[in-house]
Chains A and B, each alone.
Chain A
Amino acid sequence: MNDDKNKPWLVRRRTIRLLWWVGGLVLAAITVGDLGAHGYTGFVIDGSFAFYSWFGLASCVAMVLFAKGLGAFLKRSDDYYDG
Chain B
Amino acid sequence: MTVSSVPPGLILIVGALLLPLTVGAVRSAVLLALPLIALAVLWQVPDGPALTIAFLGTELVPVQGTTLGRLFGTVFLIMAFAGGLFAMGQKRNTELVAAYVYAGSAVSVTQAGDLLTILVFWEVMAVASGLVIWSAGTKAAYRAAMRYMMVHLLGGVLLMAGIAGYVVETGSLAFVAMQPESVATWLILIGFLVNAGAPPLSSWLPDAYPETSYSGMVFLSAFTTKTAVYVLLVGFAGSQVLIYFGLYMIFYGIIYALLENDMRRILAYSIINQVGFMVVGIGIGTEMALNGAASHAFAHIIYKALLLMSAGSVLHMTGKRKCTDLGGLFQSMPLTATFGIIGALSISAFPLTSGFISKSMISQAAFDEHLAFAWFLLTAASAGVFLHAGIKFPWFVFFQKDSGLRPPDPPGHMRLAMLFFAVLCIGLGVFPGPLYKLLPFAVEFVPYTVPHVVNMLQLLLFSGLAFFLLLPLMKRTLTISLDTDWVYRRLGQRIAEAVLTQGGALYLGFRQAAVRRVGQAIGLVFRVTGPESVFARTWHTGNAIMAVTAVLAVVLALFFF
Contact = CB atoms under 8 A, between A and B. Distances in A.
Interface stretch (B115-123, B374-382, B426-434, B516-524): B374-382
Interface in A29-60: 30-31, 33-34, 37-40, 42-43, 50-57, 59-60
B260 to A, nearest CB: 10
A27 interface: yes
B482 interface: yes
A60 B470 CA distance: 9
Contacts of B470: 60-61, 64
Given A26-B461, A43-B376, A57-B465, 6 more contacts: A10-B330, A34-B458, A55-B383, A63-B255, A67-B255, A76-B480
B540 interface: no
Nearest to B379: A55
Which 3 A-B pairs give the minimum distances between C-beta atoms?
A: A39-B451, A60-B466, A59-B380
Given A68-B473, A74-B481, A53 B462 contact: yes
Contacts of B111: none
A1 interface: no
A37 B450 CA distance: 6
Contacts of B255: 63, 66-67, 70
A5 interface: no
A67 B459 CA distance: 20
Interface string B457-476: 11111111111011001100
Interface in B164-221: none
Interface string A1-37: 0000001101100000000000100110011011001
A55 B465 CA distance: 12
Contacts, number: 138
Contact of B372 (A31, A43, A51): A43
B463 A56 contact: yes
Interface size range on B against A: 35 or more
A42 B449 contact: no
Given A64-B474, A74-B482, A75-B481, A57 B259 contact: no
Interface in B381-405: 383-384, 387, 399, 402
A75 B261 CA distance: 11
Given A42-B370, A76-B481, A61 B466 contact: yes
Contacts of A38: 451
Chain B binding surface SS class:
helix
A63 B387 contact: yes
B26 interface: no
A71 B456 CA distance: 29
Nearest to A57: B462
Nearest to B449: A39
B384 A81 contact: no
B384 A59 contact: yes
B67 interface: no
A67 to B, nearest CB: 4
A61 B464 CA distance: 11
Nearest to B452: A39
B138 interface: no
Contacts of B331: 8
A81 B380 contact: no
A5 B322 CA distance: 29
B489 interface: yes
Interface in B254-283: 254-255, 258-259, 261-262
Residue among A11, A39, A64 with max Cβ neighbours from chain B (10 Å): A64
Contacts of B251: 63
A39 B482 CA distance: 42
Contact of B458 (A10, A23, A31): A31
B543 interface: no
A60 B466 CA distance: 6
Given A43-B375, A56-B459, A33 B454 contact: yes
Contacts of A59: 379-380, 383-384, 463
13 contacts: A8-B330, A23-B461, A30-B457, A37-B450, A37-B451, A39-B451, A51-B455, A53-B458, A60-B383, A64-B470, A73-B482, A74-B259, A76-B481
Nearest to B364: A40
A42 B367 contact: yes
B56 interface: no
Contacts of B376: 43
B351 to A, nearest CB: 12
A57 B251 CA distance: 16
A71 B257 CA distance: 11
A39 B372 CA distance: 16
Contacts of B449: 39
A61 B399 CA distance: 22
Contacts of B481: 70-71, 74-76
A78 B261 contact: yes
Residue among B367, B380, B399, B455 with max Cβ neighbours from chain A (10 Å): B455
B21 interface: no
Contacts of B1: none
B478 interface: yes
B460 A56 contact: yes
B71 to A, nearest CB: 29
B207 to A, nearest CB: 9
A33 B462 CA distance: 14
Contacts of B473: 64-65, 68
Contact of B466 (A39, A43, A64): A64
A52 B456 contact: yes
Nearest to B330: A10
B340 to A, nearest CB: 15
B460 A67 contact: no
Given A53-B462, A54-B462, A70-B259, A60 B387 contact: yes
A63 B258 contact: yes
Contacts of B379: 52, 55, 59
A66 B489 CA distance: 26
Contacts of B259: 67, 70-71, 74-75
